[in-house]
Amino acid sequence: MPEHSKKPPYHEQIANKLIEQLKAGTAPWQVPWESGVPRLPHNPFSGTRYKGSNSLWLAMQNRDDPRWMTYKQANSIDAQVRKGQHGTIVQYWKTSEFVDKTDNNGIKILGADGKPIKQHVKLDKPRVFSAVVFNAEQVDGLPELEVKTHPEWLRHERAEKILTNSGVLIHHDQYNNAYYCPATDDIHLPARNQFATDDKYYATVLHELGHSTGHLNRLNRDMTGRFGDESYAKEELRAEIGSLMLGDELQIGHDFGQHAAYVDHWIKVLQDDPKEILRASRDAEKINKFVLEYEYQNQTVQPKVQTSTDESSSIQTSKQLISQPQAQAEHD
């Protein structure tokens, strides 16, 4: 194969395409996602969502059907990838594997069935391997997509439980801004009735809760940046991808809205270091996992919510939230 025809490394493919989409306003989190409709890529055979950069990469393919599978998986149910369709590569890191168990002489130990006994061992170094997957739109013979939607009360009940169990203090003391302050470990929002819908309120406050996971007593990320700094842009990238994952899991949707100011900074970060998208996606998964775990903790605290002393003065007649970036060590 000629040298010039080789594709760039996986992380560069993601970064380059994401830069194009950010410029065009079509990146996965730049397009509003409706509440009640799960959208992130998943494998219908394993029943699990694709994780990290694979989730983002597949979402960037702009398919309406979120189901992705291997050629072999499709064939296993007598479905067929259409002729001429090209698959999409995803990558996985393996940190352990099953190997044949051996005795002191290196001879394989067999079980009662005559087959080698397997043992799980940790690898000295993580190994990467690739797989090619196809979207359901590229496959004939699949059953119709079944979308399991959560009723509004369940979506909001789950979100409230997460906020309550987090113990992070929430202030409704802003006019048109929303942010998390690392110095005081609290969230600042407009009055709740300024949000067009309850789903939009929960999407906003959970985005800020995602930032709070960076606190040194939680996941301990770099939270020292100011608007315009590289570290600030990196933290926002993590929170934005994490919000996309949370919005999909809780089915509260996702609204890019107030974060348009970061686009140029994200583009520069990705241009300077394409591997940052792998790190950001990995950290976004950690944010998503950390926040969702609040739902299953014992409820030992009451919701910590404070309103401004004159909340009526902060109500917008337009019912729309337009946020401006904080020029301090805060993350919106």
pLDDT tens digits for 7-65? 899 999 999 999 999 999 999 998 888 888 888 999 999 999 999 999 999 999 999 99
* Every domain of the chain and the residues it spans: 38-140, 152-314
Q: Which of residues 143 and 124 earns the better pLDDT score?
A: 143
Look at residue 322 in the predicted model and tell me its pLDDT.
30
pLDDT at 227 over 50: yes
Angle formed at CA 207 by CA 202 and CA 212, multiple of 5 degrees: 120
Per-residue tokens: 323:
């946020």
Could you tell me which of 288, 327, 331 has the C-alpha nearest to residue 184?
331
Which residues does residue 134 pair with via DSSP β-bridges, in sequence order? 69
Look at residue 328 in the predicted model and tell me its pLDDT.
38
Residue 231: alpha-carbon gap to chain centroid: 19
Confidence of residue 315 (pLDDT cuts 50, 70, 90): very low
How many Cβ atoms are within 10 Å of 23's Cβ, its own excluded?
A: 12
**Extended beta strands in 136-178, E state:** 139-140, 169-174
Over the range 68-105, which residues count as b (16 or more CB within 10 Å of their CB) and which as e?
Answer: bbbbebbeeeebebeeeeebbebbeeeeeeeeeeeeee
Look at residue 28 in the predicted model and tell me its pLDDT.
93
pLDDT in tens, 167-188: 999 999 998 899 999 999 999 9
- Tell me whether residue 126 is exposed, middle or buried, using C-beta atoms within 10 angstroms of its C-beta: 0 to 12, 13 to 18, 19 or more: exposed
- Mean pLDDT across the stretch 105-130? 83
Could you tell me which of 189, 214, 202, 190 has the C-alpha nearest to residue 162?
202
Look at residue 313 in the predicted model and tell me its pLDDT.
32
Average pLDDT, the chain: 86
